[in-house]
Amino acid sequence: MQIRRCTILMLEPRERLDFDLSLIAAGGNGLRSTLQWFALAPPRDADIELSAEEAALLGAVSPTQWSDFEELARAHARATLESLLAKELILAQDSAAAARDEMLRETHWRSTSAVLHYLSRWRGIDTEAMQRDLAESGDGDLLAKLGPAPALVRERASAAERITLPRASDSPLDALLGRRVTCRNFDASRALTREQFSTVLQRAWGARAVQDFAPEVPLLKKGVPSAGGLHATECYLLVQRVEGIAPGLYHYHPVDHALEPLRLLSADEAAALARQFVAAQAYFVDAHVIAVAVSRFRRNFWKYRNHAKAYRALILDVGHISQTQYLAATELGLAAFITAAINEVDIEQAFGLDALEESPLAVTGFGIRGSERREVEWDPLYTVWPR
């Protein structure tokens, strides 16, 4: 059997502290320290505990050259090799795990970015329960739990040294920005018009031009910037209440400005999926449209291979798109939101995405704001909710 190590691997030593009463009797502080090793190895989305022997052996196996298992077993403990095979940190040639690892190599991930992405994805997380736990553990007092907040602004010079700049004259853009308030109160009794839905999608996600940058290398011009003009972040939709559009899962085609139906849903199924997508943040569940920002890693990394900034550029793409969507919705008198507290794995399964190549980085949404403020919204300018 031919084997090699997985392509991306990071080892983390952690210290575990346990209380032992006998240590106090011996004159100590009662804390026993134990060193544990963990492997962080995408595409596995959880850390893997290792023995010290396993951690050491991983450094002796090539991640690029195939080696004969029996030869390695003569130089190293067979049981340790077999354990690492079972944990899929060492891979047997022609195995399913090796095929997935090869796909990871071909996508040209930067190792640090891959570890960050894969091990920060959620599934089945309920943020409402997390908030309740935080409130209960802090007895309702945020400062008691977290301590003093850092200064509002880091001041690097005295007030006397600052150079005062002229304020901009009010413009329609200022008025639009002033009305841009994250919505937590959507009106589930009304539906978006098809025209409203279409307009927001076109302005935030749609292509304005397609042009060949080089032979067989077409690039898109959109209303937002994107690294290399690649626009590798696309829109997957959970539609709940839009006139003339059945509730369901869709993919938005930015060039044709069209929906590609993936799966129709009942109203209850759509609401349940919305709750799952936003990790049970109840104030976002009633959004008329959930627009998931899905990054196509293979498209971005095709140009920026194993690049230290490629993943960061994808995160920037999502920020540009979400702000444009906010403004497009606000101009129409609608409301919008964005959240990074999402169940990425559940979203991938719902839309049939392979996380090696494409995965959500955030969930956005838009719709009609409710007439009553049931949930707190941050509106310090009082442009949405009067004093």
- For residue 231, what pLDDT is reported? 96
- Residue 136 is predicted with a pLDDT of 62
Helix (H) or strand (E) holding 217: strand 217-222
How many helices and strands, by DSSP H and E, does the chain display? 15, 14
| Beta carbons of 314 and 232 less than 8 angstroms apart | yes
The reported pLDDT for the residue numbered 104 is: 95
What pTM did the predictor assign?
0.91
Number of domains comprising the chain: 2
Q: What pLDDT shows up at residue 218? A: 86
Domain assignment of residue 374, yes or no:
no
Note whether 90 and 221 are same-domain residues.
no
Considering the domain architecture, whether residues 51 and 181 belong to the same structural domain is answered as: no
Residues 215 and 70 in one domain: no
- Give 311's contacts (C-beta < 8 A, 6+ positions apart): 110, 113, 116, 117
Asked if residue 9 lies in contact with residue 41, where contact means CB atoms within 8 angstroms, the answer is yes
Clarify whether residues 325 and 226 are in a common domain: yes
Q: In sequence order, which residues have a C-beta less than 8 Å from that of residue 131 and are 6 or more positions away?
A: none
Structure tokens at 294: 């899905």
Residue 165, domain member (yes or no): no
Q: Are 187 and 103 contained in the same domain?
A: no
Same domain, yes or no: 103 and 211: no
β pairing state of 10-19 and 2-5:
unpaired
284 in Cβ contact with 278 (< 8 Å):
yes
Residue 144 resides in a domain: no
pLDDT recorded at residue 135: 64
pLDDT digits (tens, 9 = 90+) for 265-307: 999 999 999 999 999 999 999 999 999 999 999 999 999 999 9
Confidence of residue 134 (pLDDT cuts 50, 70, 90): low
Q: Do the domain assignments include residue 168? A: no
Average pLDDT of span 133-138: 63
- Tell me whether residue 347 is in a domain: yes
List of residues 6+ apart from 58 with CB closer than 8 A: 5, 9, 11, 39, 50, 84, 89, 90
Residues 80 and 190 in one domain: no
Model confidence band, residue 18 (pLDDT cutoffs 50, 70, 90): confident
Give per-residue pLDDT as tens, 159-168: 999 999 999 9
Mark whether 226 and 102 lie in a shared domain.
no
pLDDT, tens digit, 9 for 90 and up, residues 174-192: 999 999 999 999 999 999 9
Q: Which pLDDT does position 103 carry in this prediction?
A: 95
> pLDDT tens digits, residue range 24-82?
777 777 787 888 999 999 999 899 999 999 999 999 999 999 999 999 999 999 999 99
Last residue of a domain, one of 107, 140, 160: 107
Domain shared by 213 and 342, yes or no: yes
pLDDT single digits (tens) 316-340: 999 999 999 999 999 999 999 999 9
Domain that holds residue 74: 6-107
Q: Report the distance separating Cα 322 and Cα 304, nearest Å.
A: 23
Is it the case that residue 22 has pLDDT exceeding 90? no
Q: For residue 139, what pLDDT is reported?
A: 57
From the list 231, 9, 227, the residue with the least C-alpha distance to 114 is 9
Please give the single-letter amino acid code of residue 126.
D
Q: Which helix (H) or strand (E) holds 350?
A: helix 344-351
CA distance 303 to 37: 35
Q: Which H or E run contains 321?
A: helix 310-331
Q: Is 1 inside any structural domain?
A: no
The pLDDT tens digits for 206-251 are 999 998 888 888 899 999 999 999 999 999 999 999 999 999 999 9
Answer yes or no: is 287 within a domain: yes
CATH of the domain at 331: 3.40.109.10
249 and 361, same domain (yes or no): yes
Nearest to 5 by CA among 114, 126, 77, 98: 98
- Across the chain, mean pLDDT equals 93
- Residue 220, SS3 per DSSP: strand
